[in-house]
Structure 1
Amino acid sequence: MMTVRGTAADYDRWGAFFGEKSHWSWDGVLPYFKRALNFAPPDAAVVKSANITYDTNFWGNTSGVYAGWPSFQFPGTTAQMDAFRGIPGVPLVKDSGSGEPGVYWYPTFMDPVRVERSYARTGHHDKAVNRTNYHLVTGSKVTKVVLNGTTATGVSFVPVGSGLPNPTSAQTVVNARKEVIIAAGGIHSPQILQLSGIGPRKLLAAANITTIVDLPGVGQNFQDHPMIQASFMYRSFNVHPNPQDLFMNATFSAWSDKVWAANRTGPNSIATGNAAAWLPFPIISPRAADIASALASQNHTLYLPADTDPTVAAGYRAQMLSYAAALTSNATAFYNLVLTGGPTNGIVVDLHPLSRGTVTIDPRDPANREPLVDYRALANPLDAAIMADIVRFTRRYHLDNPRTKPWGATEIEPGAATQTDEQFRAWLAETLSPSEFHPVGTCAMLPRTLGGVVDEELKVYGVRGLRVVDASIMPTLVGGNTCQTVYGIAEKAADLIRFGPPKVAG
């Protein structure tokens, strides 16, 4: 899994919704990024051969979860990175953790000794199994937060089958001495709150659930990274060895298998790859100012569900105005292209979609059905315009770039016939994947007047003794994979729980 944070501006944006004195900012989260991961530098020989750069000042070395590197890189990856030098204005950044947009190398969640996935289980859970204050219950699902009035006192849960609760099973209740902390993610945290009577009153009434706290933002503000299929193939990728050529070569394939079996090195140690471009919108689009102006002047409520609460609509407007400024700035990355190292490339990502979806319990049988997830992709028409320019820039990189011209790229998808915004909109409606499996925003950390669900201490508004600590609290998506950010949120939450909010100068 890619170990990427996004830009400093992504985290400053979160705090800006609360004001200048917020402790949610780049400076307020960087120490927790460093605490959350143990950085293992790449092998010196690979650094030299691939021209990998990194800066350990942005990383820590105390966590049980590792950010590591493979022991091999295909030369094509370095060539594809260097090809961005053929486009004026594209920055090449020394380290992925610096908070700067640009083209850079990044590690993956990998144990450098075992050369296998490093994550919460290997870094924390397995080590905590024998602790007397740690109990992990598997094969079960929380049904609701137990409340005494508006105070959380515990949770109830039941066994599951096929991922759903068993309606005939007896509820087991675990009581909390201090607090209840929900960490069920962008889809299921809002579901648990809604099942507990915390959420939009109209939704809860339709599901025959008594409203304990009318909190309209629960399940609103749903976001994910949409993936766009912009495929290109090189006719003469004269950079060897490259993956496709070599893995069809019996000698190379046999060597790869041999060194992997002997000491877990070589090409088989590569997971998802380690290089990508994360670029600001002014670099990829000549009409950044026009799109930003159009976004700022929108009647934003028109692009939300018809019955959206005014506080949620106010929060959406605040986000769109923040994005309007970001679209003309070089501080926020809107474009992502992962580099394959081989003669094909196919996926680009819109890092800050403007459309917002919903996650709600199913009123027909809320306790025994999965929640209803509506991405509402492309609901804001400017998303299609932004994605059109994302594809246009990808064409420029492959087809109108002196560094890539010798490779003889051919566009496979969407094809040369797709040129106008209207044509792109029709193509996206048929091909866009609304998810990169990064669901966030449904228990947003925002002021309550902006449709927020939790405050800056991650406490649920209107409820005592209840916090949410997971991706659902992100008010806006970060310009990168969400896993490292979730780890940083968890580390920061631990300090908030133990010590309360930090003092911020100013």
Structure 2
Amino acid sequence: MTLISTLLLALGLSASQPVKAIPVSGVTSSPEGIEGSTYDYIVIGGGLAGLTVAGRLSEDPAVSVLVVEAGADDRDNPAVFDIYEFTVAEGTALDWQYPVEDGRIINSGKTLGGCSSINGGSWTRGSVAQYDLWSTLLEDSEADVGWNWDRMLHYMRKSENFMPPTADQLAKGAESIPVVHGSSGPVHAAFSHGMYGGPQQPAFIASATNASGVVHCPDLSAGNPNCVSMNPVSINYNDNDRRSSSAEAYLTPVEKKRTNWVTLTQHLVTKIVWVDTKLPLVATGIEFATYTNTTNGTTRFIAHARKEVIVAAGALRTPAVLQLSGVGDADILGPLNITTLIDLKTVGRNLQEQTNTVVAAGGTGFPVNGTGPNNAIAYPNFFQIFGNASDAKAAEVERSIGTWAASQAENGHSAEALETIFRKQVGIVLKDRAPMVEMFYVTGPDVASNQILTVLWQLLPFSRGRVEIVSADPFEYPNIHVNYFNVSFDMDVMVAGLQTLRRIFKTPPLSNLSIGETVPGAAVPDDGKGGTAADWQPYILQNFGSVAHPIGTAAMMRRDLGGVVDAQLKVYDTANVRVVDASILPMQLSAHLSASLYGVAEKAADLIKVAQ
């Protein structure tokens, strides 16, 4: 008998006892019937990863699953289901609006489906080398668990129901490589009925190739995204382009059929409940409270877990849940009168977030011919943005790794650990030539009339930040310090990317659609080389935004590197608590995160099934 089974048996929660019908199923906002009940698995967070894991675990009718989500069920809200309404949900009750330094915020979905319910839906994947790198950060004995491109491709395809472009979409520039996509998964991805057909997206693609040397490829999901292409989005083409969120994909089709799965909305998990304080800690369930737009509940409810508690609250909320539960840095928890059960100091550290800035120009009056969403994306690498300065810049980067690591040590495990990680990250940049910036072309009625606009963001920041609770009150937001541009190279990448983007705007055929730059325009004079760093830097610092792709705060790495979870996604020194969300990613990907996170969650579900 395992340690978990022995302890749970003592509590009358035997993992081997027959599963009884759970009191309620489907989606509810009432704790009635849930308070005091026992489930095989409790999932904290009903976002992208949480609903994916719950959906897969509940495929077994003998397994009972509870999901607790802080947001409401907004699947019938057009701001959620209508991909053409992207950005409408931002700044509303559907958005956590996490405050960070300098008065900025990071948008994050506070609704069933999480960020998959309010994001732009872009469907891309990173480079082969970036997924393969994950295994090199684990113990040697864990290298065969399969955290690499080959296995991740399997799970990303498992999650996906991709629709190849139609004849009309092909005529507008859409392409795909069918073999890298799944065709029977829950999450739909496709090009939209309203795909833009004017000259602007093909012109951007051609000018990006002409000005930077980035090649035109048919598919950004094939493992080599260092190219420019048309990009599908997570929509169901056969359902009038309805957003295909994790809620629509994994929950909606089965919620009335599976009596073994209940999702409780508008309730916040306040902490994990443990058997005792002996290591490894064994979770017996969760404590939770009512959480609405107007109410922070004072009553605490309890639900019990026979097998596991799975934390899927997102990269900014997951570390707070662990810290409130006594898992984190004792120097943070002690002053808050929270008993430290596991002094795991890197919980909440290694935060990595991307930054973006806009370049725009007035247009010549070209036709839009569509309603969106946008599709054209370019992913240049280090050498394509730094150009003739690449060799000198690469040498500077190699010399600076140790200095960067020392400067970020307080937000990681140690300078030595970060130097190891940074050397691998530099290898991804210089040797494997993973994309360094994303250039996301925007057109259509949501942009000023006839305007050409591109959002650029750095993809692989070296600056590291942290997430720390500031109170034992679970309703109080944690302190989120992103540490933007603390490593100066992150700013260098932004500047070089924007200089390259200006060259693209001035290169035919895109230049033929432009009547002159409007943003930043005269605020950053163009010296013929795209503007000086001295002019760009203050402008960027004043005008940049967060991309809302935070990762790393419960990283899947060896403990000596600052890891919080192992290759099985178990929190170190716990017997039955796993983390399954963006916080486990040890390093940013040159991609939008959704497609990869579905793969992570699909793989996690299989790891959990095999372990039982």
Q: Give the alignment's TM-score, normalised by structure 2.
A: 0.72
SS at match of 2:439: strand
Which segment is superposed worse, 438-447 or 412-421? 412-421
Say yes or no: does 1:44 pair with 2:167.
yes
| C-alpha distance in structure 1 between counterparts of 2:352 and 2:415, whole Å | 15
Q: What pairs with 1:48-447 in structure 2 (closer than 5 Å)?
A: 49-71=171-193, 72-75=195-198, 76-87=200-211, 89-100=213-224, 101-114=226-239, 115-130=241-256, 131-148=258-275, 149=277, 150-162=281-293, 165-166=296-297, 168-169=298-299, 171-234=300-363, 236=364, 240-242=366-368, 267-268=370-371, 270-271=372-373, 273-286=374-387, 287-298=389-400, 299-304=403-408, 307-308=410-411, 311-329=413-431, 331-341=433-443, 343-363=451-471, 365-399=472-506, 401-408=507-514, 410-415=516-521, 416-417=524-525, 419-433=531-545, 435-447=546-558
Once the two structures are TM-superposed, the CA of residue 404 in structure 1 deviates from its matched residue by 3.2
Instruction: Quote the sequence identity (%).
Output: 28
| Equivalent residues, number | 465
2:113 alignment partner in structure 1 = none
| C-alpha distance in structure 1 between counterparts of 2:415 and 2:468, whole Å | 17
Q: Could you tell me which amino acid in structure 2 is paired with residue 138 of structure 1?
A: T
2:604 alignment partner in structure 1 = 493
User: Residue 190 of structure 2 contacts residue 236 of structure 2 at CA under 8 Å; is this kept in 1?
Assistant: yes
In structure 1, the gaps of 5 or more residues are: 244-266, 502-506
1:6 alignment partner in structure 2 = 126
In structure 2, the gaps of 5 or more residues are: 1-120, 444-449
SS at match of 1:98: coil
Which segment is superposed worse, 312-321 or 348-357? 312-321
The verdict on how the C-alpha distance between 1:146 and 1:8 changes in structure 2, with shifts beyond 3 A counting, is same
Once the two structures are TM-superposed, the CA of residue 207 in structure 1 deviates from its matched residue by 1.4
> Residue deviations 1:429-486, cap 9 Å, x none?
21121x2111211111111001100011101011110100011101111111111111
| C-alpha distance in structure 1 between counterparts of 2:295 and 2:331, whole Å | 25
- Which of 15, 18, 22 pairs up with 2:135? 15
| C-alpha distance in structure 1 between counterparts of 2:294 and 2:542, whole Å | 30
| C-alpha distance in structure 2 between counterparts of 1:180 and 1:294, whole Å | 45
Once the two structures are TM-superposed, the CA of residue 361 in structure 1 deviates from its matched residue by 0.5
SS at match of 1:41: coil
| C-alpha distance in structure 2 between counterparts of 1:163 and 1:461, whole Å | 36
| C-alpha distance in structure 2 between counterparts of 1:163 and 1:187, whole Å | 22
User: Residue 284 of structure 1 contacts residue 390 of structure 1 at CA under 8 Å; is this kept in 2?
Assistant: yes
> Residue deviations 1:398-457, cap 9 Å, x none?
12x243343345233334426332332222221121x21112111111110011000111
SS at match of 1:187: coil
Once the two structures are TM-superposed, the CA of residue 60 in structure 1 deviates from its matched residue by 0.8
Once the two structures are TM-superposed, the CA of residue 319 in structure 1 deviates from its matched residue by 2.8
User: Residue 9 of structure 1 contacts residue 331 of structure 1 at CA under 8 Å; is this kept in 2?
Assistant: no
| C-alpha distance in structure 1 between counterparts of 2:206 and 2:411, whole Å | 47
| C-alpha distance in structure 1 between counterparts of 2:294 and 2:466, whole Å | 21
Once the two structures are TM-superposed, the CA of residue 118 in structure 1 deviates from its matched residue by 0.8
Once the two structures are TM-superposed, the CA of residue 301 in structure 1 deviates from its matched residue by 4.1
Q: Could you tell me which amino acid in structure 2 is paired with residue 284 of structure 1?
A: I
Q: Could you tell me which amino acid in structure 1 is paired with residue 347 of structure 2?
A: V
2:116 alignment partner in structure 1 = none
1:260 alignment partner in structure 2 = none
The verdict on how the C-alpha distance between 1:288 and 1:69 changes in structure 2, with shifts beyond 3 A counting, is same
User: Residue 397 of structure 1 contacts residue 404 of structure 1 at CA under 8 Å; is this kept in 2?
Assistant: yes
The verdict on how the C-alpha distance between 1:11 and 1:477 changes in structure 2, with shifts beyond 3 A counting, is same
Say yes or no: does 1:470 pair with 2:581.
yes
Q: Could you tell me which amino acid in structure 1 is paired with residue 290 of structure 2?
A: P
Once the two structures are TM-superposed, the CA of residue 92 in structure 1 deviates from its matched residue by 1.2
| C-alpha distance in structure 1 between counterparts of 2:414 and 2:399, whole Å | 18
Q: Could you tell me which amino acid in structure 1 is paired with residue 390 of structure 2?
A: A
2:100 alignment partner in structure 1 = none
User: Residue 221 of structure 1 contacts residue 316 of structure 1 at CA under 8 Å; is this kept in 2?
Assistant: no
The verdict on how the C-alpha distance between 1:285 and 1:19 changes in structure 2, with shifts beyond 3 A counting, is farther
> Residue deviations 1:93-115, cap 9 Å, x none?
11121011211122111111112
User: Residue 33 of structure 1 contacts residue 487 of structure 1 at CA under 8 Å; is this kept in 2?
Assistant: yes
| C-alpha distance in structure 2 between counterparts of 1:281 and 1:304, whole Å | 22
| C-alpha distance in structure 1 between counterparts of 2:390 and 2:245, whole Å | 38
Q: Could you tell me which amino acid in structure 2 is paired with residue 52 of structure 1?
A: A
Once the two structures are TM-superposed, the CA of residue 386 in structure 1 deviates from its matched residue by 1.2
Once the two structures are TM-superposed, the CA of residue 499 in structure 1 deviates from its matched residue by 2.3
User: Residue 384 of structure 1 contacts residue 421 of structure 1 at CA under 8 Å; is this kept in 2?
Assistant: no
User: Residue 124 of structure 2 contacts residue 591 of structure 2 at CA under 8 Å; is this kept in 1?
Assistant: yes
Q: Could you tell me which amino acid in structure 1 is paired with residue 452 of structure 2?
A: T
User: Residue 465 of structure 2 contacts residue 482 of structure 2 at CA under 8 Å; is this kept in 1?
Assistant: yes
User: Residue 190 of structure 1 contacts residue 218 of structure 1 at CA under 8 Å; is this kept in 2?
Assistant: yes
Once the two structures are TM-superposed, the CA of residue 43 in structure 1 deviates from its matched residue by 1.6
SS at match of 1:444: coil
1:247 alignment partner in structure 2 = none
| C-alpha distance in structure 2 between counterparts of 1:410 and 1:19, whole Å | 54
Q: Give the alignment's TM-score, normalised by structure 1.
A: 0.87
The verdict on how the C-alpha distance between 1:308 and 1:470 changes in structure 2, with shifts beyond 3 A counting, is closer
Say yes or no: does 1:35 pair with 2:158.
yes
Which segment is superposed worse, 140-149 or 404-413? 404-413
> Residue deviations 1:230-282, cap 9 Å, x none?
23334x36xx4236xxxxxxxxxxxxxxxxxxxxxxx34x23x1221012111
> Residue deviations 1:186-208, cap 9 Å, x none?
11100000000001111111211
